[in-house]
Structure 1
Amino acid sequence: MKNRLLTLFVLFSCGWTFGQMQEYEAKIPLNGISNQWHSVPLPIPVFDKLKQDLTDIRVYGTTKNDTIEAPYLLKVAKGEKVKKQVDFKLLNKASNAKGYYFTYEIPTIEAINKIQLHLKNENIDAKALLEGSQNQNEWFTILEDYRILTIKNNQTDYSFTELNFPNSKYKYYRLLLISDIKPDLDSASISLEENLEAEYQEYKVKGFRTANENKKTYIEIYLKQRVPLSHLKINVLSQFDYYRPISIKYVTDSIETEKGWKYYYRNLSSGILTSVENNEFEFPSTLVKKLRVEIQNYDNQPLKIGKIDAKGYMHVLVARFTERADYSLVYGNKNAPKPIYDIAFTKNNTPENLSPLVLGKEEMIPKTEKPQNKPLFENKWWLWGIMGLLILVLGGFTLTMLQKKG
């Protein structure tokens, strides 16, 4: 009796495991498990089958009579910026034929790499020269020919007034602004910004096409695969100065109509496309395959667009394996809820420098078709035959009753 119950339990467990796996689209075998903790880099093809919030990922392990769900943390290598404000004093303001000078003193020798200028001028185009010194006698160039620009009108409200430079340690800093109009510098802030560098994965742009219509330029960008995009760089070939509002959208859905395909878009980012900056746009990591960039030209000639660069943060799972089993990365289930694991509340206890697992080939998970309920009588002649038999029986019964009455 006990053996029968054990056999039934094993069969039920195996069936339940297979049923769990069937809810997902694909799996990738995980090889090389030798420790309790490992990293699992997510390959690009995985993202094509995932939900937008990436919650339909599981790490399942199977044995002869059980299934195991290994907990994991999803790590997105998006880096981190830490900004430390540095105290300073404005020593003097002066001007001569060269331009307008501002001299700052930092009481303690601390490294800085940013100076944010708060200008009252709504429209100013200036060049900046930044120098450093320990004694105000000998000055060393830190930045030169650095452009400062503010524009405000009915069409544009743009400001680029931050000086970025390599880490510098001087007691004194002298800023020269070369401008046709007097800079009205309200205040400044000096800081040290330390960056934990993000880890990116570059994506192949399958192609793009541009169209100019109603004083706008539309750029349709096609990526080779659906990927988690977080960074887009637009290389402009035009050599003249330009400042154009820009919006970046991605396709969320599409339907086929008599006139062709109709796409539905959602905003991803917006800003200014300008000759002053590098035209690199960052935004929250989003799964996309097709994008549209809209450039507002107003009454200006359209810009010539060159190369489009796309990249996104590296996505890695940190998984814990406590039992021996054959493990697979399983993914692709629109109805899967967000998993809740204990390790999410103890992230600080996760070891570092984990060895990555070796991923096998992607395997599609076969689906078992649900049995269809067949009609009781597939052939209509059976139905006619039964109806005829019923008529004969009822007719015979009626004749018998009539004879008895007679």
Structure 2
Amino acid sequence: MNRYLLLLLWVSVAHMGFSQVKKYNYYKDIHGVQEEWHKIILTDDIYAKTSQHLHDIRIYGFAPNGDTLEAPYILQAKENKTIINRIAFKRINESHNDEGYFYTFETPSKAAINEINLTFRKDNFEWFVNLEGSQNQENWYTIIDDYRILSIRNNSTDYHFTDINFPKSKYKYYRLQIKSAKDPLLTKVSILESQTISGSFNTFKVDDLIYLKGKKTQSEIDVDLGKVSRVNSLKLNIDDKFDYYRPVTIQFLADSFHTEKGWKYSYKTLARGIVNSSKENVFHFDQKTVRKLKIIVDDNQNTPLNITSLTVNEIINELIIRFTKKADYRIYFNAKHPRKTNYDIHYFTKNIPDSLQELSLSKTFLIPKEKVEKDKPLFESELWIWALMAVIIIILGGFSFKMLNSKEVGL
């Protein structure tokens, strides 16, 4: 009896493991598993068949004894990381003359800085600033010259560009000149050391832009990246020398469907912001799988901008995987209504080795699905219905004849 129970339990577990796999539509074989920890770099063909949040990815292994194993993983995006260190300082001097308003700051002698953030009590301005450094307040050295800061605020726009970025400098004193005829009403200053740890990206340029006929006050541009890509930032390259400041919306093709009148396309917003001539027009957003984009620029009554190309940052995502048993492992993807993973290894990332061997993947395989056959109707032809009705009529007629005969005998 116990043998039968164990056999039934084994069959149930095997069925559960197989039913987990059946939820997915594609898989790739994983080659090269030798250690406890490995990594896999996700590829474009996986992105093309997974959901935007990447929840429908699982690693399953098939052991020699028939067990189905699930290997836990951590999805790790190789994005840029910014570390900001705020520097203590004293504002020791303020003055002004015909050339503008001057502010002097004293910082610790060992501090290195590369960013100053300014806050003003007024809006709608355009000023140019100089920044100098000194060790003794006698000899001053230029750090930046004629750096543009800008504020635009009205019913439709609230834009401020008042962060000053410059190469890392190490002086005890800094002197800021704002070239304004009136008091700029500087209310707050933050002095920072900003350090960016570079991630891993594939950067490529897209020159094939299609300008569409949209509203008179808008420019609408279609962009095909040429392949499915996982992106988290892009830059609009604008070949205009005049000053400009315009709202822009960047959308991606999220869905398409066919109707009697042809194909319909559904776009979702990827990013909103401002393109302006005072800085690089780079837009950052949560990573998305995209191929086709639409760029909408609000020109209002201005001459349309000449956007010549896009520079796209394609982010690299890694799966950090722990393998505990020998098995033939596969990566499965593309499932309906997937749940986000919840593995213990997320709480023990310090135990993951710094250097991991990358695993290779096979081509993509489609998982065949069993066709559910519809129950055939009992009567596939109207002749059967007529035949059945004839039989019923004959039977009813026979009963009626017998009843009549029995009544006559009774009389």
Q: Does the TM-score normalized on the shorter chain lie above 0.5?
A: yes
The alignment partner of 1:372 has SS state of coil
| Distance apart, 1:306 and its partner CA | 0.7
Q: Distance in 2 between matches of 1:15 and 1:373?
A: 25
1:231 aligned residue: 233
The one of 340, 346, 349 equivalent to 1:347 is: 349
**CA-to-partner distance for each residue in 1:14-33, whole Å, 9 max, x for gaps?**
55544432321211111110
Q: Does 1:320 align with 2:316?
A: no
Q: Cα–Cα, structure 1 residues 383 and 154, in superposed 2: closer, same or farther, change >3 Å? A: closer
**CA-to-partner distance for each residue in 1:236-286, whole Å, 9 max, x for gaps?**
111111011122233333444555444333333222100111000101123
Q: Does 1:145 align with 2:136?
A: no
1:248 aligned residue: 250
Query: Where does structure 2 lack aligned partners over 5 or more consecutive residues?
Result: none
Q: Cα–Cα, structure 1 residues 256 and 181, in superposed 2: closer, same or farther, change >3 Å? A: farther
RMSD after superposition: 2.7
Q: Distance in 1 between matches of 2:362 and 2:309?
A: 34
Indicate if the aligned counterparts of 1:124 and 1:181 stay in contact, CA closer than 8 A.
no
Indicate if the aligned counterparts of 1:58 and 1:69 stay in contact, CA closer than 8 A.
yes
Indicate if the aligned counterparts of 2:18 and 2:68 stay in contact, CA closer than 8 A.
no
In the alignment, residue 231 of structure 1 is paired with which amino acid? S
In the alignment, residue 317 of structure 1 is paired with which amino acid? L
Q: Does 1:76 align with 2:77?
A: yes
| Distance apart, 1:364 and its partner CA | 1.3
2:297 aligned residue: 295
**CA-to-partner distance for each residue in 1:164-204, whole Å, 9 max, x for gaps?**
12222111112233346554323311011222223223367
Q: Distance in 2 between matches of 1:302 and 1:114?
A: 33
In the alignment, residue 284 of structure 1 is paired with which amino acid? D
Indicate if the aligned counterparts of 2:123 and 2:152 stay in contact, CA closer than 8 A.
yes
Q: Does 1:21 align with 2:16?
A: no
| Distance apart, 1:359 and its partner CA | 1.2
- Aligned pairs (5 A) from 1:106-255: 106-179=107-180, 183-202=184-203, 205=206, 207-211=208-212, 212-255=214-257
Q: Distance in 2 between matches of 1:103 and 1:227?
A: 48
| Distance apart, 1:85 and its partner CA | 1.3
Task: Name the % identity.
Answer: 38
**CA-to-partner distance for each residue in 1:311-348, whole Å, 9 max, x for gaps?**
24321111111111111110001222222222233333
| Distance apart, 1:228 and its partner CA | 3.1
The alignment partner of 1:252 has SS state of strand
Q: Distance in 1 between matches of 2:316 and 2:202?
A: 6
Q: Does 1:47 align with 2:61?
A: no
| Distance apart, 1:292 and its partner CA | 2.4
Indicate if the aligned counterparts of 1:226 and 1:287 stay in contact, CA closer than 8 A.
yes
Q: Does 1:279 align with 2:281?
A: yes
2:30 aligned residue: 30
The alignment partner of 2:24 has SS state of coil
Q: Cα–Cα, structure 1 residues 179 and 134, in superposed 2: closer, same or farther, change >3 Å? A: same
Q: Cα–Cα, structure 1 residues 328 and 203, in superposed 2: closer, same or farther, change >3 Å? A: farther
Aligned length: 406
Q: Which moved further from structure 2: 26-35 or 312-321?
A: 312-321
